[in-house]
Structure 1
Amino acid sequence: MNITLSDHAGSLQPEPTVEQARFNKLWQEVKKKQARNEKLKQEMDALMATYTAKVMPVELGIEEPLILLARRLVDFASRKSLADWQRGELQDWIAETLHEVSQYNAAEADAISNDYNQVIADYYDISVEELTGPPEIEDDIDAAVREAFESMTTDDETPIGQEDLFGLDDDEDRAFFEHEAAGPKKSADRKEQPINEKWIRNLFRRTARALHPDKEQDPAQRLHKQKLMTQLLDARDQQDIMTMMMLYNEHTEDGALSLESEEIENLCDLLEKQKDILDMDRVALIDESPMHYAVHDKLYAVSQKARDRKLKEHLDDVQASIKRKFKLVEYLRNLNNLKTVLEERYEDHRYI
């Protein structure tokens, strides 16, 4: 039985069989998701470039008021008239502000943090070392736990190991435990094989004939074919049938492939899995880095017009935020104004 690979679901063809109809539907869905992902990748690349060129220079303007705010808050940290809840709220605010400063100027954030530690140490009349604690204290605790564990013995004074704690007293039980923990082993280099090797070899040969770079006279086309041929060879080595079929469909004139009914069913199952993989790939494009996620959240939209609107709105929000930060620093001229803001923050946190 033959199946036909086509990018046009409505092309004139004889009435398809049930298997061909299911394959056609899944094939088109996979192609659509591939095109969607490729479009998203291009859009994300463009948005990242826009963010670097237009947004980042404006966002960097918030560094100055953030540093001023952090230093202003640290100046209040030694005031003895602050109530316990006010002091706790101020400490949280300083920590939040220092975290924001560190995103723009890590060195300045460290310097302010050191000044803050000195202020708090002076307030409690202790040294900074006593306040922050020795960095090796956690290592000491870990060493003590290990020493206690190693000193544990059984009735016959044999040290207790991890396997003994789980009741694994012989090699066979331990081997079983290790096997269960490791899980079923699968080759990381080869995909599940739903179709016979002869068919795959035939698919590879027919695709390779169309992609062979030696047939190209133009250097640019020859280089392009070399890249495609490398992709095909990698797909063959990985038993990546989907990639091989996509290359076959895009670069050969004959879209007909001979398959048994059971193999067509397996191929349809493979297409179903490919749809899920493409959905995960889409999420991965957005989550490639924290910056990618933030840029997608702030600037992405389906249409270019909507993206331009979101860009303008975001830039307006950033500039407004910078102005608010400067005004807040100016407002925090005295302790009474600080207490007013601390009370507002405290009430907000209570409702949250």
Structure 2
Amino acid sequence: MPTKQITTDKRDKQKPTSRFQRLWAEAETLARDNAELEKGLDAVVSRINEDIFTAERQLGETIRLFVYRQLEFAHKKSLAKWQRNELNDWINENLSELLAMGLLDEPLQEQLAILRAAEMDIDLDPDSERSAVEQLDDYFGSEAGEPGDEEQGNRSDDLFGEDEDLDDTFEDDEDELAELLRKLHAEFEGAQESMDTPTPPKKKPISDKVFRRLFQQTAAALHPDKETDQSRREEKHALMSELLTARKEHDLITILKLHEQYVNADSDLNSDDEQALEEVLVEYLNQQRERIDEIVSQSPLHQMAFSQFYHKTPATVTRRIDAHLEKIGAKQDALLTVLASVKTLKSFKEILTARYDTQIMRNDWF
């Protein structure tokens, strides 16, 4: 909404813009921008859920198919060491993407456990009721500690119990001394801070007289009985309800907003009143600045939307989303091409060689 001048004389001559008017204009602009940001960011999040996540899930299904194909070749004994390392790196990259998409399901984890067990010469029982993942966990769990460790530890405690108690006594004394020093240091720092930091001036409260004057001027302008047009009458009735709620809650900012938009009367506030109103506006302005971070940080999806796709211009948002969708589509097409072309171990080795050479060139370049 456009911000009018608060103080105008009857001849419509504008007085110089006051600090209060400048603060009000800045706060209203920021509040309007925040409202647009919140609405626009929610719209981008909706498009991410509908368009981008749909495309990424389709890509994820293709990646999962490709990982199954990779696992088939990973069991081949004829792979050279560098080929197996390159394949493992490639599988891990794909698994990271599937994990981020929530597509790393139990069947795929089962196949990965079987492959890892084979690589480490761990025998899994195919007839066991426990899955390969559980058997592998059991194996590493049993390897984590040797039998008798706990008993040996208990014997050590018995042998050195007296010395341990003595050490604990010294440690307790040291802890008490450290805590005492910490408290003394904190008290010293607090005293220094109180000496170095000037006491902020006490805020002047808004007087009830000013509050009533703003309310009465606004209520007079918004009274619905003065309107003969029914639609206008209903609009003012809603505005009056908002004003009454603001008075009940002592919401000065809402009263100021309504006063700024609908009241044409001169403002006869004194300097103290204006200073108190300025302090309210500064606080409101700071709240609007903090509101930007709250809007962007309300969820990881909102942060993603803001950093990658959001723009005030809808056409720019669409262009950024379309560009991202093109990248997803290109990656899926490339994977489908590989899936269609890789039928034998020989053809798969050729792709591994090409990937390996590309990685070497990239490392040499950087």
Equivalent of 1:100 in 74, 97, 100? 97
Cα deviation for residue 257 of structure 1 reads 6.1
| 1:303 Cα deviation after fit | 2.3
Note if contact 2:218-2:263 (Cα within 8 Å) is conserved in structure 1: yes
Selected match of 1:43 from 40, 45, 48: 40
Query: Hey, what's the Cα distance between the residues in 1 that align with 2:327 and 2:104?
Result: 27
Please, which of 339, 350, 353 is the counterpart of residue 339 of structure 1?
353
Segment of structure 1 superposing worse, 203-212 or 298-307: 203-212
> 324, 346, 356: which is aligned to 1:314?
324
Is 1:118 aligned to 2:132, yes or no?
no
Q: 1:67 Cα deviation (Å)?
A: 0.7
Q: CA deviation at 1:276?
A: 4.5
1:260 aligns with 271
Matches within 5 A, 1:33-112: 33-79=30-76, 87-106=84-103, 108=105, 110-112=106-108
CA RMSD between the two structures: 4.8
The corresponding residue for 2:137 is 129
Alpha-carbon shift at residue 119 of structure 1 (Å): 0.8
Quick check: 1:194 aligned with 2:208?
A: no
| CA-to-aligned-CA distance 1:103-148 (integer Å, 9 cap, x gap) | 444452x4323321321121111362377557999xxxxxx9xx9x
Match 2:180 to one of 144, 168, 192: 168
For 1:88 and 1:211, the matched residues in 2 are separated by 77
Q: How many angstroms apart in 1 are the aligned matches of 2:320 and 2:77?
A: 46
- Greater Cα radius of gyration, structure 1 or 2: 2
The separation in 1 between residues aligned to 2:297 and 2:173, in whole angstroms, is 41
Is the Cα–Cα contact under 8 Å of residues 9 and 24 in structure 1 kept in the other structure?
Answer: yes
CA distance 1:82–1:107, change in 2 (3 Å)? closer
Residues 1:339 and 1:98: Cα distance change in structure 2 (over 3 Å): same
Contact 2:206 2:277 in 1 (8 A): no
Q: Which residue of 1 aligns with 2:15?
A: 15
CA offsets 1:219-273 (integer angstroms, 9 cap, x no match): 9976776566556655x4xxx7545533553565657362435x64565465455
Letter in 1 for 2:320: K
Q: Could you tell me the TM-score, scaled by structure 1's length?
A: 0.66
Deviations 1:189-230 (A, max 9, x none): xxx97332525x742684489579xx8798997677656655
Contact 1:30-1:271 within 8 A present in 2 as well: yes
Q: Provide the secondary structure at the position in 2 that maps to 1:256.
A: coil
Q: Which digits, 9 at most, give the CA deviation of each residue in 1:36-86, with x for residues without a partner? A: 111222222333333444444333321221111222233344455556665
Counterpart code for 2:349: L
Alignment partners' CA distance in 2, 1:251 and 1:15: 19
2:27 maps to 1:30: yes
What is the number of residues matched between the two proteins?
Answer: 314
Give the secondary structure class of the aligned counterpart of 2:18: helix
Change (3 A) 1:209 1:8: closer
Flag the 1:156–1:75 CA change in 2: closer, same or farther, 3 A: closer
Partner residue, 1:286: 296
Where in structure 1 are there 5+ consecutive unaligned residues? 1-5, 138-143, 185-191
Q: Given the superposition, is the C-alpha separation of residues 164 and 118 from structure 1 closer, same or farther in structure 2, using an over 3 Å criterion?
A: farther
Code of the residue aligned with 1:280 in structure 2: it is E
Identity %: 19
* Distance 1:27-1:156 versus aligned 2 partners, 3 A rule: closer
Distance 2:235 2:15 in 1: 41
Deviations 1:276-328 (A, max 9, x none): 44333224323332222333444433323333433443333332232122123
Distance 1:208 1:94 in 2: 72
Counterpart code for 1:70: V
Q: Alignment partner for residue 315 of structure 2, among 305, 313, 318?
A: 305
The 3 A distance-change label for structure 1 pair 280 and 77 is farther
Query: Which one-letter code corresponds to 1:198 in the other structure?
Result: S
In 2, Cα distance between the equivalents of 1:76 and 1:161? 63
Residue 81 to residue 254, structure 1, CA distance change in 2 (3 Å):
farther
